[in-house]
Amino acid sequence: MLPPTHHRAARAVVAVVLAVLAGFALPAPARADGPTRLDGQITDKVGALDGREGEVRAALDRLRADGGLQLFVVYVRSFDGTPSEQWADQTATRSDFGRRDAVLAVATHDRSYAYAFDAEFPLTDTQLDVVATVAIEPALSANDWAGAAIAAADGYRAVLAGQAVPSPQIRPGEADPGGGGGASAWIAGALCLLVVAGGVVLVLWLLRRRRQRPPVPAGPSTAELTTRANDLLVELDNDLRASEQELALASGRYGAEATASYTAALESARQDVAEAFRLRMTLDETPGPDEATRRSTLEEIIRRCALADSGLDAESEAFDALRDLEARVEAEMAEQATRQEAVEARIPAASAALDAVRTRYVGPAATGIAGNVDQARRRLEFVTSVTRQATEALAEGDRPRAALAVRAAEEALGQAETLLDAVERARTDLDAAQAGIDTLLAEVESDLAAARATQPGTAALAAAITGAEQALAAVRAAVAGPTTDPLAATARLEEADAALDRELAEIRDAAERAARARALLDQALVAARAEVAAASDFIATRRGAVASHPRALLAQAQQHLARAEALAASNPPAALPEAGRASQLAAEAGRAAQSNVDQWSPPGIGGRGGGGTDVLLGVLLGGILSGGGGGGRPRGWGGGGFRGGGFGGSGSRARRTGGGRF
């Protein structure tokens, strides 16, 4: 006789059987799906792919590897009465899509489809329409459901590479997959009955054995969490930079009191993002964290980014109302014209400063500004172009379009100023670091003499002496050459001196150690500030091409620099290694960011000038340009339009959508 628990389980299974039998007596309702959160790149609720999921996944993987676009495809029976483009846009929002995520949604019974792209993704509306017309719709019209996804992925990959969109290889399929009804439903029902009957036996057997299987982790995979966390870090870092620039303009015009709530929101978001970057670095620095630790850390990064994002978005509409660009377009354009003239007037001096840096210095701080003057000129050309579009929009009575152009010009002008500031700052910082080399050499020589006089010496002291001797020789050789890297020389001398100080600590009292640290600290802070500023300026002015790792390194460098500055007056010995670590991390951030930019291939750019140059510039700026319309707050328009950075997070970001019937 079965125990009561087993009787309950058996009765539950029998109830399921009866429900299935009753279901066969009724016609199957058409299943409709509302907008949903997507957990993976492929969602097929109607069996449309019919065994071809592997082909679709391979095409999506090629697109992501070659074009940097993560395309999600979803098949449902019906969009539940929601307009197709709205359905796709809401699904993208619920799925927390970033700038390089897109969705292709197909309702097989409705015979309608839609796609949704972030407004800042570097494809124009024309390019999206070509892919839809040439690749997607022919496959859908022939009921080639898997072929439509493959053709979409291959089409987007082609236009991102500047190539023609290939026509799909059609393999017609079922007209209404998942439709059910008729004899096929009874056949399926009979099979279901067999399965359920077998299930009764299986359940009872499992209950008798009373075995418990270990729980399967729910939610996205660790790899998916990693991708999402990295994407969010990049997005939020870009949002912070855009919001900082907007807030600086608003504060200058309306005062600190009127913008206090936005300043507080920005600072709160900045702290959350800084902590998220710190957590991301722990995953790189901790050797082989276990799966549970890695997942919990990634989830906390995502949570922190979400907090920052929602905090910025909460102030976005009020901030836009404060600035009221549409009402102030003419005044803003007049101010921008004056500002543009001032920036253009700085070009000759910045060019001369850049020549001086090239003549005397090497290293990341010097190479990082090598293209700044040219980049500033290109941004000024962009300002001229969008200002002309703003004038045309005003003539047509389209003030929203004119306001968007003004915001885009604002962003580009701010970046042009940052590029030129970076050149002038680099020259000043490198000159200051170079001037301090002799003092550092003398400090290291003094400590080296003290170390040599210490008897008996330890093995660690002997190693420190050897390291200091090598550092002195290398730096002297470097500064004797025609060009040098004073920041690297400073870092090497400080590292050698710190090793000597550690070994000599026992024979020096606290006052002497503090005095020696204070003597080195000023130069260390000069170098750290220079490295941090160089990396920050480089990332800010090329942020569309820089991934999460350089940003995480920079965030850590900024935190170490802040600690060094906070400790400088009260505890120089503790401040000195913080400054050294800030220099090291900032230099790594600069090199990693430069590598990202070098490896980044501008998608769909076929030469110089025209729209292609504008798209390239927009990507480097981090999303000034986009292709126009779509749902959400209007921040762009069709045919290769643009948007400004604006104050806010991802919720204030528009998407471009398209689609139709087939």
Where in the chain are the domains?
Answer: 42-179, 227-323, 329-429+603-646, 436-508, 527-600
Is residue 128 classed exposed, middle or buried when 0-12, 13-18 and 19+ CB atoms within 10 A define those classes? buried
Residue 95 to residue 104: CA distance in whole angstroms: 13
∠ CA 588-593-594, nearest 5°, is 100
565 pLDDT higher than 70? yes
Q: Are 647 and 247 in contact (CB under 8 A)?
A: yes
288 pLDDT higher than 80? no
Tell me the pTM: 0.62
pLDDT score of 24: 45
Residues with Cβ within 8 Å of residue 290, at least 6 apart in sequence: none
Q: Are 165 and 158 in contact (CB under 8 A)?
A: yes
Q: Which residue has the higher pLDDT, 653 or 333?
A: 333
pLDDT band at 651 (very low <50, low <70, confident <90, very high): low
β-bridge pairing 101-107 and 70-76: parallel
8 pLDDT higher than 60? no
User: Within 13 Å and on the Cβ side, how many CA atoms surround 527?
Assistant: 35
| Average pLDDT of span 366-380 | 92
Q: Which residues pair with 657 in a beta bridge?
A: 116
| Virtual torsion, Cα 173, 177, 179, 183, nearest 10 deg | 60
Q: Are 604 and 596 in contact (CB under 8 A)?
A: no
| Average pLDDT of span 206-228 | 63
Pick from 285, 248, 200, 149: which is nearest to 6 by CA? Answer: 200
pLDDT band at 210 (very low <50, low <70, confident <90, very high): very low
pLDDT score of 630: 34
Three state DSSP letters for 13-76:
HHHHHHHHHHHHCCCCCCCCCCCCCCCCCEEECCCCCCCCHHHHHHHHHHHHHHHCCEEEEEEE
- The phi, psi pair for 223, rounded to 5°, reads -65, -40
User: Within 13 Å and on the Cβ side, how many CA atoms surround 63?
Assistant: 26
Residue 468 to residue 485: CA distance in whole angstroms: 18
Residues with Cβ within 8 Å of residue 435, at least 6 apart in sequence: none
Question: Does domain 42-179 correspond to CATH entry 3.10.310.50?
Answer: yes
Residues 252-282: tens digit of each pLDDT = 888 888 888 888 989 999 999 999 999 998 8
- The chain-wide mean pLDDT, for the chain, equals 81
Query: Is the preceding omega at residue 172 within 30 degrees of 0, hence cis?
Result: no
Residues with Cβ within 8 Å of residue 25, at least 6 apart in sequence: none
Q: How many CB atoms lie within 10 A of CB 30?
A: 15
pLDDT score of 25: 45
Residue 524 to residue 518: CA distance in whole angstroms: 10
29 pLDDT higher than 60? no
Residue 267 to residue 210: CA distance in whole angstroms: 55
Q: Which of 203-212, 391-400, 512-521, 565-574 has the lowest mean pLDDT?
A: 203-212
pLDDT score of 600: 61
User: Within 13 Å and on the Cβ side, how many CA atoms surround 216?
Assistant: 4
Pick from 652, 590, 589, 491: which is nearest to 280 by CA? Answer: 589
Residues 393-424: tens digit of each pLDDT = 899 988 888 888 888 888 889 999 999 999 99
**Highest-scoring range by mean pLDDT, 83-87, 641-645, 647-651:** 83-87
Pick from 591, 645, 641: which is nearest to 623 by CA? Answer: 645
Q: Which of 324-338, 426-440, 503-517, 521-535 has the lowest mean pLDDT?
A: 503-517
| Average pLDDT of span 448-453 | 88
439 pLDDT higher than 80? yes
- The phi, psi pair for 658, rounded to 5°, reads -160, 175
Q: Are 604 and 625 in contact (CB under 8 A)?
A: no
pLDDT score of 635: 31
Q: How far is CA 566 from CA 323, 487, 559, 563, 578, in A?
A: 35, 22, 11, 5, 10
Residue 21 to residue 12: CA distance in whole angstroms: 14
pLDDT band at 426 (very low <50, low <70, confident <90, very high): very high
pLDDT band at 605 (very low <50, low <70, confident <90, very high): very low
Question: What is the number of H-type helices and E-type strands within the chain?
Answer: 21, 5
